[in-house]
Structure 1
Amino acid sequence: MSHSKTANAQELAGPPAMVVSAKPVVLAAAGRGEDLQVRVSAPATGGDLPVIVFSHGFGWSMNGYAPLADHWAAHGFVVIQPTHLDSRTLGLPAEDPRTPQIWRLRIEDITRVLDELDGLAASVPGLAGRLDRSRIAVAGHSWGAQTASALLGARVRDSDGVPGEDMSDPRVKAGVLLALPGLGDDLTPFAAEHLPFMRPSFDTMTTPALIVAGDRDDSALTTRGPDWFTDAYTYSPGDKSLLTLFEAEHSLGGIPGYEVAETTDESPARVALIQQLTTAFLRSALCPEDTAWKAAAAALEEGHPLGNLRHK
């Protein structure tokens, strides 16, 4: 790694930087029916910046998840947030012919962002030429975590249980999967009927990832309990970490936004821990010389009131 990359990795450990953010940056998307709108946030200065593409949960948009996007950008990452077709801001009716394929279109949205990185950077004043295309991660919450997991190697099983198309992307070097739905063996009748894409196989999800689950996250989509959200850790090949947050429900303390209505377990301390650990994980995953994750993990493994961490 060049000296400049090492220096910028070290800068990630410093105090929060000034952030510039631009929206909507619009990418032409033939065949999608809507151009793809994204938000791009980045440190105002610095070069060789690593990239995080973040996939929102159901109904959200590029404007959500400020507690994560703002923090990552302030600590040295370029954060790109596409608005998927299920966003409430687009108002797609349930009978829209694209609805059954939104899960696939979501994955294609992320791939499109990766294909258009240079154009996205050029659309943000002062950002052109400052991205490090060799250091790319994906992240997501809930349905967005499932979207991101496909880029890491997860696949969707068909009705016979056979894993479908490989939609992984070799440009993606790491992932953060927050409240990621588990296997499709124990779906409720509604989920089994209406959400056939919720039948993941994690057997080929080989890319390194941090999986974050709440031990009070009881989903209406499964007959199992909160351990459903740990399946990706259990059933994927090695180089995975699992952060289990005590008393956390689906919003994991409030990551979708500050004071949003769907947060049932508001906890600034929990959100701060997620900010700290995801930042440390991504820094070290994308820059192997960085020791932030090793230090953060060691501190958590000594016992922490908010959660525990496992590795494999």
Structure 2
Amino acid sequence: MMTSNAGTTPASPVVSVKPVELRPPDRGTDLLVKVSAPVGGRDLPLIVLSHGYGSSMDGYGPLADFWAARGFVVIQPTHLDSRTVGLAPEDPRTARLWRYRVDDLKRVLDQLDLIEDAVPGLAGRIDRDRVAVAGHSFGGQSAGVLLGLRVLDPRVGEDLSDPRVKAGVLIATAGKGGADLTPYAAEHFPFMNPDFTHLTAPALVVAGDKDDLPLSHRGPDWTMDPYHLSPGDKSLLTVFGGEHSLGGIAGYEVRETTDEDPDRVSLIQQATWAYLRHALGIESASWAAVQKGLSATSRAIGKIESKQV
């Protein structure tokens, strides 16, 4: 088991502002975002965090708060599938929710000036050259698209990668589609058909070895596909005993958490923070410390492997 907060910097005060309203003309609904940032500091790296299906900008406090308290600006858009939006199933946008999600993430980057101005004291403090994306579940696919993942909808995967994004974290993200999906998933989620061969940007894939989703018949190793099937600089954090909420990352008191475990949450907080500092070229000592901490004890609650292809 890792020492609590091993390898991380002390927490600093954070300011959070919500909702910041973006008004895309082609979305039909305003895009609401939450911004969390350290009170002090300059040249702050940025993480755009994409929530899982049905959640919102108010979710994922255990991750967003941890990252912001340790030097990152975190921006959380509320996607159209959020329960807070209440999009009707017959709404014509429903069939393309995956694409609206990607547009949301890009729009955040397009309108950083407006977002900065909405947060007192933030203007001019974001390092535009150190931008990362992160996502959980459906949000992992959304974030992955900006890193090079292509959605086969239905057959040809359009390149929607974004050169402004330098690295990412994909948490409990869907694996291969096609025959690997259950009949229900294939019928209701045709966009769940990713092509990982162009996902070349550096990324940390986080997967629970007990995350047996009903969307695939393959079992927990399905969410490890983004690591095994993508080229380039990748790392895989396997969380032992982790189910889909991985100990409770989706919120402090989220009822959907089936495997509540503060140690798992702490591991993911530390590992994701340290990895992104490494991948964005800030420093690598913290990432090395996390890896060493896991390998140094037989009571570790996870393992990390890496590749460069």
Normalising by the smaller structure, the TM-score range is: over 0.9
- Deviation per residue, 1:4-61 (Å, 9 max, x gap): xxxxxxxx94310000000000011111000110000000010000000000001000
Bigger mean CA deviation after superposition, 280-289 or 185-194: 280-289
In structure 2, C-alpha distance between the alignment counterparts of 1:182 and 1:14, rounded to whole Å: 33
- Whether 2:160 is the aligned partner of 1:171: answer no
SS at match of 2:224: helix
Aligned to 1:44: 39
SS at match of 2:48: strand
Bigger mean CA deviation after superposition, 202-211 or 288-297: 288-297
- How many aligned positions are there? 299
SS at match of 1:264: coil
Answer whether contact 2:177 2:193 (CA < 8 A) is retained.
Answer: yes
Q: Which amino acid aligns with 1:63?
A: D
* 176, 183, 208: which one aligns with 1:189: 183
Deviation of 1:130 (Å):
0.4
Deviation of 1:65 (Å):
0.3
* 265, 273, 277: which one aligns with 1:283: 277
SS at match of 1:193: helix
In structure 1, C-alpha distance between the alignment counterparts of 2:232 and 2:281, rounded to whole Å: 19
- Deviation per residue, 1:123-143 (Å, 9 max, x gap): 100100100000000000000
- Whether 2:288 is the aligned partner of 1:294: answer yes
SS at match of 2:128: strand
Aligned to 1:106: 101
In structure 2, C-alpha distance between the alignment counterparts of 1:255 and 1:163, rounded to whole Å: 33
4+ aligned runs moved over 4 Å, structure 1: none
Q: Which amino acid aligns with 2:262?
A: P
**Structure 1: unaligned runs, 5 residues or longer:** 1-11
* 239, 250, 254: which one aligns with 2:248: 254
Answer whether contact 2:147 2:201 (CA < 8 A) is retained.
Answer: yes
In structure 1, C-alpha distance between the alignment counterparts of 2:268 and 2:232, rounded to whole Å: 22
- Deviation per residue, 1:62-87 (Å, 9 max, x gap): 00000000000000000000000000
Answer whether contact 2:138 2:173 (CA < 8 A) is retained.
Answer: yes
Q: Which amino acid aligns with 1:61?
A: S
Task: Provide the TM-score with structure 1 as the length reference.
Answer: 0.94
Aligned to 2:3: none
Deviation of 1:156 (Å):
1.1
In structure 1, C-alpha distance between the alignment counterparts of 2:289 and 2:264, rounded to whole Å: 18
Bigger mean CA deviation after superposition, 289-298 or 127-136: 289-298
Q: Which amino acid aligns with 2:59?
A: G
RMSD (Å), alpha carbons:
1.2
SS at match of 1:29: coil
In structure 2, C-alpha distance between the alignment counterparts of 1:138 and 1:227, rounded to whole Å: 23
Answer whether contact 2:236 2:304 (CA < 8 A) is retained.
Answer: yes
In structure 1, C-alpha distance between the alignment counterparts of 2:212 and 2:109, rounded to whole Å: 33
SS at match of 1:90: coil
SS at match of 1:39: strand
Aligned to 1:218: 212
Pairing of 1:259-278 with structure 2 (within 5 A): 259-278=253-272
Deviation of 1:299 (Å):
2.2
- Deviation per residue, 1:209-229 (Å, 9 max, x gap): 000000110111111100000
Aligned to 1:119: 114
SS at match of 1:92: coil
Pairing of 1:124-135 with structure 2 (within 5 A): 124-135=119-130
- Deviation per residue, 1:223-254 (Å, 9 max, x gap): 11000000010100021000011111000000
* 199, 203, 206: which one aligns with 1:209: 203
Structure number with greater CO (CA < 8 Å, separation at least 6) is 2
Aligned to 1:61: 56
Aligned to 1:146: 141
Aligned to 1:90: 85
Q: Which amino acid aligns with 2:289?
A: A
Answer whether contact 1:163 1:201 (CA < 8 A) is retained.
Answer: no
In structure 2, C-alpha distance between the alignment counterparts of 1:63 and 1:177, rounded to whole Å: 19
In structure 1, C-alpha distance between the alignment counterparts of 2:114 and 2:45, rounded to whole Å: 16
Answer whether contact 1:52 1:138 (CA < 8 A) is retained.
Answer: yes
Aligned to 2:9: 14
In structure 1, C-alpha distance between the alignment counterparts of 2:230 and 2:198, rounded to whole Å: 7
SS at match of 1:169: coil
In structure 1, C-alpha distance between the alignment counterparts of 2:232 and 2:291, rounded to whole Å: 17
